[in-house]
Amino acid sequence: MKKNDQQLEKIAKLIEESRNFLITAHQKPDGDAIGSLLALYLALTQAGKTVIPCLTDPVPQNLLFLPESGSIVFASDLASGRSPTLPQDTILIVLDCNELQRTGILPFLPAHLFETAVVLDHHIARPEPLSEFAGIFSKPPLLYIDTEAFSTAALVYWLLETMNRPLTPEIATNIYTGVVTDTGSFCHSNTNADALEMAAALVRAGANPHRISSQLFQQYPVSRHRLLAMALNTLELEYNGKVGFMYVSPEMFLQSGANEEDAHDFVGCLRSIDTVELAVFIKETSNGQSNVSLRSKSYFNAAELAASFGGGGHFHAAGFRMNRPIAEIKGMILAKLADVTWQ
């Protein structure tokens, strides 16, 4: 499925000719972001490169089992000198997003500290991504954005294949986690023959599907279930059941003893309702910010709706953030949906 071998070869050449790298991904990282980051970190380290795996947010509890997850450092620690210093000729590699601002590292590690940037992503991008950094980097950025790819981990797999790097069990485990996460355990519409064939190759290389799925989906704390029970009580259906809304509030987090991470994929429960085409889950946090997750089943473009609020994502899975109350956000979304013809 590698559609742009030339671009992968350019990225592989840059990596082979360079020594120092900082790899990062988007804030609130998920299995695809962290699995991709750790797989590439392991591969480049084994190739003799100096690599710093860096995030601004902690690794979610259910992903701490991933090989080398303990090696990830925080951008704030790098900036303060509590972690290894950044060499001057460092290449920045951005995974699972195509805007440097979404990584959250720029306040700690400004773009001028890097020689250039490489982006591997499968989300919809605005025109000319990273163009604002063209005069800052000493070399032009290299981007490989494939919106039809089923995960960023797949792009890492193809890059390592291009570089002739071996698939160790540890690398395979990280990539498999990214694939299984972003295909919804091979249930989402992006699941295709390439995804299944890649999964088989990863299993042959040492990934353990049962152990990975058990860690991802069968290790939830009871506080998560208490929070889910409260969230289900907020469920409302609009437009003859085609649109479902559900939310959690700061008070619910306190009452249940859950944290923000525990609300992961509550939107999937909402989308599972038979009449629902568009599921909207709003998570309001203690700082007043609301994170909105959008999921659609078939014909509704969730990414387009998210983009209208400054967010983005995929056709069937997208989201945005907003500093407004839950009720106000719901009203704004309903207003945007007023002219939709529901099938």
pLDDT band (50, 70, 90) for residue 267: very high
Residue 144 Ramachandran class (φ > 0 left, ψ -120 to 50 alpha, else beta): beta
Nearest to 71 by CA among 97, 48, 39, 94: 39
Q: Measured between alpha carbons, how far is 6 from 11 in angstroms, rounded to an integer?
A: 9
Quick one: average pLDDT of 73-77? 93
Residue 82 pLDDT class (50, 70, 90 cuts): confident
SS3 state at 233: coil
Output the pLDDT for position 83.
Answer: 67
| Residues in the chain, overall count | 343
Nearest to 210, CA basis, from 185, 190, 188: 185
Domains in the chain, ordered, with CATH? Answer: 5-216 (3.90.1640.10), 223-336 (3.10.310.30)
Mean pLDDT value of segment 297-310? 95
Q: Which residue(s) pair with 317 in the sheet?
A: 295
Copy the structure tokens of residue 200.
């088989």
From the centroid of its chain, how far is CA 218? 20
* Letter string b/e over residues 193-220, b meaning 16 or more CB atoms within 10 A of that residue's CB: ebbeebbebbeebebeeeebeebbeeee
Percentage of residues in the chain having pLDDT higher than 70: 98
Mean of pLDDT values over 171-175: 98
SS3 88: coil
pLDDT digits (tens, 9 = 90+) for 200-251: 999 999 999 999 999 999 999 999 999 999 999 999 999 999 999 999 999 9
59 and 69 in contact (C-beta within 8 Å)?
Answer: yes
Based on its alpha-carbon atoms, the radius of gyration of the chain, rounded to whole angstroms, reads 20
Q: Which residues contact 180 (CB under 8 A, 6 or more apart)?
A: 31, 186, 199, 209, 212, 213, 216
